[in-house]
Each structure stands twice: as C-alpha cells, then as structure tokens.
Structure 1
C-alpha cells in the first residue's frame, strides 16, 4: 500500500517509518507534521492509507480526518500514544471516517518487529479491505423460531460511532425492541465505546456477553474480536469461525445468524463503512421478508457498505441518517423522545 504518516513528533514518525521499512509490500509516500499539512498533501498525492495522529498543533487528527474524507477520501488508521486516555477522540475520529486505531510503536524499547507487530497487522487488514473484491459468496439462512420480542440488528464501520450516537439519541427509553450492534472496532476500545454511546442513549448500553438475551429497551454491542451471533432464538454468544473474515466481528456473520433464528419482527440496518461487510447478510434478511435499511450516500462518512447493500437491492429503504430513528419508531409503533424545552 502507498502510505502517508501524519505526526508532529519526530520520534513517533520515525518509529512508524522503521515499522514500514520492515514490510516492503508497503511504501511510505509522504510525511506531514500536522493535520493541515496532511489535508494539502492528500489532495496533491492521495495515498491508499494514512497513519493519523490525534493530538497535533494547528489542526488535530479529528478535523484532518473530516476534511480528508470530504475532499480526497482514503483509508485512515489512527496511530497515537495513550489511546485509552484519548478514547473519546478516537471515537470522534472514527465518527468522521477513520477505520480503526492502534498504539504508536515506540523506539528503543523492543525489537522493531515486536513493537510494530500491532501496527502492521492493522495495516494488512486494511490492505485486504481496500483490495476487497466481491467473491460472489452467498450467505444462506434458514427460518426457525422467532425471538419473543422485536429486534433491531445494526452493523456499522468507519463513521459508525457518530451514526450510532445519532440514532440512539433519537430513540425513546421505552423503545419496544432490543437493539444489537456490530461495530467494527478493536476489542480494546469496545468498553469505551459502550460508555460513550451510553451518554447519547436513553436506553442502557452494554457489552454483549456469552449467553446474553436480547431484551426490549436495551442496547447490546459486540465486545470481542470473535463474531457475535445468535446461538438460539434470543441468546447471543461468540464464535471464532469463520476465520477468513477481514473484520472480526463480522456484520455478515451476525446478520446471517439473525436470519437463521428469526422470522420477525426484525429490522436490519447497515450504516456507514468501508468495504462490503453486511451487504450480503442484509440481503439475506430482506429475502426472508424482513425490513432492511441502508444509510444513504449523503450522510455516510464512508459510502462503502451501504452502497454495496443498495447495489444488490439488499435494502428495503435507503435513508439519510436523521430519518433512521424515526423510521424505526414508526415501524415498531413507538414514540420518539419528547422535545427538550
């Protein structure tokens, strides 16, 4: 991949250069000292991937991500020190279209191959995603017994945290369905994302644990690097298979498991994200007679996954983000939150 580095600290930029030097399959094409310079560099020479720091002078990584995704979109991986402390900023950057986040490798503490392993693993995963081609695989699903309560199954990737926050903000506490979410995010950041989404939701937001049940008025979020699935008609769990998925957890695997056990009432929703994960699974749900929604291009931070769904007619409706919550409320007969005075 052709890669750009954005970091105002010389030692951190040098650490990333050394890591990239270990992988001849990747090429460093430019380095920027802050977000503003990165925006200009990206317009002149757009790389396949940008390794973006968060905290920088003049323009931080969040604003730089927003501008790059609007003007010259490409894959962005947040690479920054002390990610746990900056979790809110990580989610904000992902809301603008960044794909994932990883700690900055350090110089002089370990063998470069060891310290750079996590960064290279993330880069290679994104390289597969960027080069992903539709393999023509078809997911299959068999109807079984319906869950005892309505379900909203949501998949999201780049740009997803902000999109999820907007939807949850506009749903009432007494929402009559369970909501289960698969968001492409490293398992390390899932607890922080739960806390962050909880600040935007009238309903409780929790990490999905093995054996959890989907209960109306609650939001469950996939919380490990294994795939979240329905193992029975309402009971969730995790599985390591299939092992060949680019993303773990996979939205397609999740939607397909929903299709196996649920005959309704069910709504599938596919939000902003790069690639096509979730499109075939959404088509499975629509083929089984369920209502499905894809986010539209104008409001998607990255119009990849919902575009793939729209292209194969997997979505009953293609909606702007600000209409999805009201559509869910309409379909399930609930009232939206009262206007704040």
Structure 2
C-alpha cells in the first residue's frame, strides 16, 4: 500500500515515515510540505492513501482535501497535532471526503513514535475499505416477517460515509419548518469523534442532533445519531440497541444493520436516504425498506463526494428517486407526507 504524506513539519513527516516503514505492506510513495504541493503530488502520482495535516502554509488540509477529491480522488486520512482541539476543521475535511482523523505520532528520544499504533489501526481499517474487504460485505438476510406494532408515527433514516457530514447537515437544514418527525442517522465515523460530530451537525443544520443511547426510542422531533463503534439497530420493542454483531461487517456502525432492522420492526411509514460514501453499505438495507413501502432516495453522482454507496443502491433498484443533495430534503419530506396519508402499508 503506497502512502503519500502531506505535512509542513519536517519532524512530523519523519515520524509518519517511520510509522509507515515499520509495518509490512506499507511504503511511503512521496512527501509534500504543504497542501498545494500535496494536490500536485496526488495528480502526478496517485497513492493508495494520503496522510493529510490540517494547518499548513499556502494551502491548508481542508482546501487540499477538497481539491484532491475534486481533481484526483484519493482516500485521505487527516493526521494532525490535536484532533480533539480542531473538531470544526476535522469535520470540514471529512465533509470534503476525508475518511477519518487521528493525532500525529510524536517522535521519542529512543527513536520510536508515540501514537504510531493508533495511526496503523486507522490505516488498516481504510485498507479494508479500499480493497481488502470483499466486494460485497456480509449480506444481511431479507426480512420477510411484517413489522410488529400498530404505531403510525413516521420515521426518517439517513445513512452516509465519505463526505457525509456536509450532506447530512444539508438535509437536516433543508427539512420543513416545524419538522416533528423522528430521525435516525448513521455516519461512518470513529467513536472518539462522534460526540463532536453531533455538535457539528447541530451547529451547521440548525437542528439539535444528539447521540442515541442504548434503549432510546425514536420520537417525533428528535434527531438521533449512532454513537458507538457497535452497530445501531431497532429491536422488536421499538428501542435502539447497540451490538458488536455482525463482527465481520466492513463498516462500523453499519447502515445496512440499521436499515434492515427498521424494515423489520418499524410499523409506521418512513423515508430513507443513502448518501455519499465509499463501498456499498446500506444498499441492501435500502432495498429492504423500499420493499416495505418506504420512500427511498439515493444521492446522485454529481453531488456525491464518492458515488459508491448510492450507486450500489441504484444498481440494486433500491432507490425510488435519485436526486442531487439540494433536493433530497424536499423529496424525503414529500415521501413522509405521502406515507402518513396512506391508509395502510
């Protein structure tokens, strides 16, 4: 796996080089000392992964990520001095297509690197996403039993990955005034960043987004975000639960796991959207929801940072509508209203 390093600090570049060199199967393809040089390097010699700093002269990591994903798409991992201290910039970079973020390893007097293990774990996870995971992740069986219960409350479900924070915020912001529909969201993100993501989504959408706790019920007017590296699912009692299973799922938390559980257990009408992201997580779950009579939407190619997950949904026939990001909120709201008016399912 060839890795490019974009960082203006010579010491940081050396720390990253040592960590990469310490692992079998990894090699440094090149290094760049600022974001502008990083863009040019990627265009000239595209690596398997870019380790991107945030604060650099001439062009910072956010703009460099945006340019790379627009001009020469390539997996990007944000590596910066303090992820927790730069939450807003981290999520800006993720909105433009960065997959994840981790603190920069620190060179020690002995020659080792503190934090190198965390970086390697992130790299291994991304390696699965870009080719070491099977083309079709473990399939979740079609659920033929009808949903239990009699509630006719509607539900909105969103699933997203690469570039998802901006997409989710845009949809929440675009929902009608007075929106009082229960909403659940799965965004592929490391558990240590998810609390910051809830705050970021709240700030950028104007709607309060809170982390879904074990046992929470989706309720009108509440927006709940999956909050752990376990998979969030709805159980037969209508409560949200977290589980490590399926352990071999390529993505955590899995959109497919949530969508399939909603198809089985949510008795009312609903609308769901599968948004920008790498891979195909959520496509089969969206199909299960469509078969249950939900309104289903896939983000279109032009507005997606990576048209992987939505494309998989389109190929399966899971999406009733394929729409650009700016239209999705309206399509979902229409689908919810139409489902609520229907006499039955």
TM-score normalised over the length of structure 1? 0.93
Query: Which of 199, 208, 230 is the equivalent residue of 2:234?
Result: 230
CA distance in 1, matches of 2:244, 2:225: 17
In the alignment, what sits opposite 2:341?
none
Structure 2 residues not aligned, in runs of 5+: 339-345
In the alignment, what sits opposite 2:53?
53
- Number of equivalences: 334
In the alignment, what sits opposite 1:99?
99
- Answering whether residue 79 of structure 2 is matched by residue 79 of structure 1, we say yes
In the alignment, what sits opposite 1:137?
139
**Which stretches of structure 1, 4 residues or longer, exceed 6 Å deviation after superposition?**
none
Other structure's SS at 2:85 match: coil
Structure 1 residues not aligned, in runs of 5+: 335-341
The answer to which of 156-165 and 110-119 deviates more is: 110-119
CA distance in 2, matches of 1:25, 1:280: 32
CA distance in 1, matches of 2:259, 2:137: 18
The answer to which of 191-200 and 85-94 deviates more is: 191-200
RMSD of Structure 2 on Structure 1 (CA): 1.8
Flag the 1:234–1:136 CA change in 2: closer, same or farther, 3 A: closer
Query: Which of 186, 209, 217 is the equivalent residue of 1:182?
Result: 186
The superposition leaves residues 75-131 of structure 1 with CA deviations (integer Å, 9 ceiling, x where unpaired) of 111111111110000000000011111111111078847621111111111111111
TM-score normalised over the length of structure 2? 0.92
The superposition leaves residues 29-70 of structure 1 with CA deviations (integer Å, 9 ceiling, x where unpaired) of 011111100110111101111111111110011111111111
Contact in 1 for aligned 2:105/2:114 (Cα 8 Å) = no
Shift of 1:173: 4.9
Matches within 5 A, 1:248-287: 248-287=252-291
In the alignment, what sits opposite 2:16?
16
CA distance in 2, matches of 1:286, 1:328: 13
Contact in 1 for aligned 2:69/2:97 (Cα 8 Å) = yes
CA distance in 2, matches of 1:219, 1:70: 31
- Answering whether residue 211 of structure 2 is matched by residue 207 of structure 1, we say yes
The superposition leaves residues 198-256 of structure 1 with CA deviations (integer Å, 9 ceiling, x where unpaired) of 11334321000011110111110011111111123421121111111122111111111
Other structure's SS at 1:47 match: coil
